[in-house]
Structures are given as C-alpha cells and as structure tokens.
Amino acid sequence: MRYMLGLALSGVLVFSAIAQDQPRPFASFDLAGPAELNDPHDLTIGPDGRLYVADKLGARIAVLNADTLELEEVIGEGKIPGVRDISFGPTGKAAVAASGTGAVLIFDDLTASDPQPTNFLVAPFTEGALIHTNGQVYAMASGIGGLIAYRDGEIVATASGHPGAHDVAEDRDGNIWVADNDNRRLVKYAPDLTRLQVLNHEKFGFVGPRYMDIDAFGRIIVTDQEAHRVLMIDPDGPDGGSLLGVLGDGLPGKGPNKFDDPEGVAVDGGRFYISDLDNNRVVRYIIVTN
C-alpha cells in the first residue's frame, strides 16, 4: 500500500512539474466578432483606429470597428484576389499583399472612399508586406522563397531561403522579422537584409508560424496556425529566446482559449486581435491589470 501510494504521489509530482513548465495564457478572452468573414488572414489597426482585415476568399479588405468587432465597411469587394496582408506606413500609405495578383499593391490612402492602388510591386505569390519606417517596402515573395526590399518601386536588396514564408514585421529597433512557415522558425534581418538572428528552438514548438506583430516591449506575438496556438516570445531571452505565454490548447475549437487555424494577429496596447481563420471571425484578447 505504501509503495502504491508512493507511486501515486510521484506521478502527481511529475504531472505538477510538467504542468508548471507549460506556458500560461498571456491574455484573457474578451470578445468574438460574428462569423461573417471568409478565410480572414492578417489584420492591422489603421490610422483611423479601425481594424483592417485581409479577407482572403472574399478577395476584399474588411474594416471592423475595433471596439465591437462589427463589420463597418468593405474595400474592393471581390477585386483583391488572394489578399493576405496589410501594412500601414508612417505617412498613411498602405501596402497590401495580394498573392492572386503576384504583387504588393500600394495605396496612397486606404481609408479614402473607393481607394485605388497607385503602384504594383512584383512579388510572386506574396504572403506578407511591410511599409518600413525608413520608407522602403518589404515583401515576402513566397513563390520564390525570397524577401525583397524596394525603394521608390525598385528592388534594392533580396534574401533567399524562405519558401512558403508568410509575414514581414518591423520591430522597435527597425529590424525585420520573417515568419518562416515551412522552415518552422522566425528570422530577423537588418533593413539591408543582413541576417541577424534565428528563433527555432524546440521550446517554441513551431509547427507553422504565419503572421505576427511586435508590442511596445519588443515581444513577438505570432500565430502558429497548424498548432492552433498564439505565442508570445521575448526574442532577447536566454538560450535562444523565451516563450512567455501561449493562447490556445493545441486543438481546433471555438470558444475562450480555443482557435481553429489562427492566422493573423494585431497588437493595440493591451489588446490582441486574432483572425480565427476556420471560424471565419476575429476575436479579441486583453491583458487585465489591477
């Protein structure tokens, strides 16, 4: 009896130790929008404070009220094939990754009535786009596995080795992060596309990182779509970065702390907006402070 009790207690202690090692949620479920989108991909807060969502199969940009998550406007209904990513620059210009056109579309003012692109930057099967604070545009041309930098519409630098990669995001130091989906890692580049860092430690458990945003503290919030999780990572943490927290339990679903293929993420202070792709909606999580 004592032996069996000892085994039982040992099992509890082992289970407790494993449970303590598991990262906790870094935010709490707050709100879910209606399931009226069609394969929503990445999303971002626009200069008008609204949420701009790349609604891929709708071939449109859905504009949501950031407070209520209600649909307020649609841009380019059925006219932006394969739209996957949206980036606003410091002057209000927008870059839109549209894989169906094989290009990044540049808009002078996406918030205007019936906006039209003013430039097309060729990027085969582009999955991600970024207007950098330095004025350059960066695109992830997933079809050729290349990260491309453009200045005044001309290619000025490239970095290869990223087939199937998705997002391109700028950190607070002006460096560029790539969500390297097929290679199950995140990669950091300098603005001239010199490679600086790779995050691929097994502790992150990457299955397929897709889109990301970076908060005011330099933490990366990235969706791991096929793992049905959203991760918060400190890239400067010890031993190849620190996993600070996780949303989602790893299984597809619908409800608090559940996702079905989370794709895009946008950070606005203590708010985290996530495109819950196969549930065809956007959900919001918040950090609660006392």
Domains identified in the chain and CATH numbers: 24-286 (2.120.10.30)
What pLDDT is recorded for position 12?
A: 38
Beta bridge partners of 62: 53, 74
What pLDDT is recorded for position 186?
A: 98
- Cα distances (angstroms) measured from residue 150 to each of 27, 58, 69, 163, 169: 36, 28, 34, 19, 15
What pLDDT is recorded for position 289?
A: 62
- Cα distances (angstroms) measured from residue 94 to each of 108, 119, 163, 183, 240: 7, 11, 25, 28, 33
> In whole numbers, what is the pLDDT of the chain averaged over residues?
92
Please answer whether residues 226 and 261 qualify as being in contact, where contact means their C-beta atoms are separated by less than 8 angstroms: yes
What pLDDT is recorded for position 214?
A: 98
3-state secondary structure 97-123: EECCCCEEEEECCCCCCCCCCCEEEEC
Give the dihedral sign, CA 264/224/235/257. positive
What pLDDT is recorded for position 109?
A: 95
Please answer whether residues 141 and 104 qualify as being in contact, where contact means their C-beta atoms are separated by less than 8 angstroms: no
Closest-CA residue to 71 (of 54, 86, 56, 51): 51
What mean pLDDT do residues 29-36 have?
97
SS3 (DSSP) at 157 = strand
Q: What is the pLDDT of residues 156-194, one digit of tens each?
A: 999 999 999 999 999 999 999 999 999 999 999 999 999
Confidence band for 21, pLDDT divided at 50, 70 and 90: low
d(CA 161, CA 254): 35
Q: What is the DSSP letter of 182?
A: T
Closest-CA residue to 29 (of 248, 207, 262, 252): 248
What mean pLDDT do residues 3-11 have?
38
d(CA 47, CA 88): 8
What pLDDT is recorded for position 87?
A: 98
Candidate from 8-17, 190-199, 209-218 with smallest mean pLDDT: 8-17
Confidence band for 23, pLDDT divided at 50, 70 and 90: confident
Confidence band for 215, pLDDT divided at 50, 70 and 90: very high
Q: What is the pLDDT of residues 83-107, one digit of tens each?
A: 999 999 999 999 999 999 999 999 9
What mean pLDDT do residues 5-33 have?
61
**Residue 202 dihedral angles phi and psi, to the nearest 5°:** -60, -20
Mention every residue, 6+ apart, whose C-beta is less than 8 A from residue 148.
121, 123, 138, 139, 140, 141, 155, 157, 158
Please answer whether residues 234 and 218 qualify as being in contact, where contact means their C-beta atoms are separated by less than 8 angstroms: yes
Mention every residue, 6+ apart, whose C-beta is less than 8 A from residue 215.
221, 267
pLDDT reading at 20 higher than 90:
no
**Tokens for 109?**
């003012």
Largest interatomic CA distance in the chain: 78
d(CA 256, CA 135): 39
pLDDT reading at 17 higher than 60:
no
Highest mean pLDDT (candidates 2-16, 195-209, 275-289): 195-209
Element (H, E) at 32: strand 28-32
Percent of the chain, pLDDT > 90?
A: 89
Q: What is the pLDDT of residues 50-96, one digit of tens each?
A: 999 999 999 999 999 999 999 999 999 999 999 999 999 999 999 99
Amino acid at 193: L
> Which is more confidently placed, 40 or 287?
40
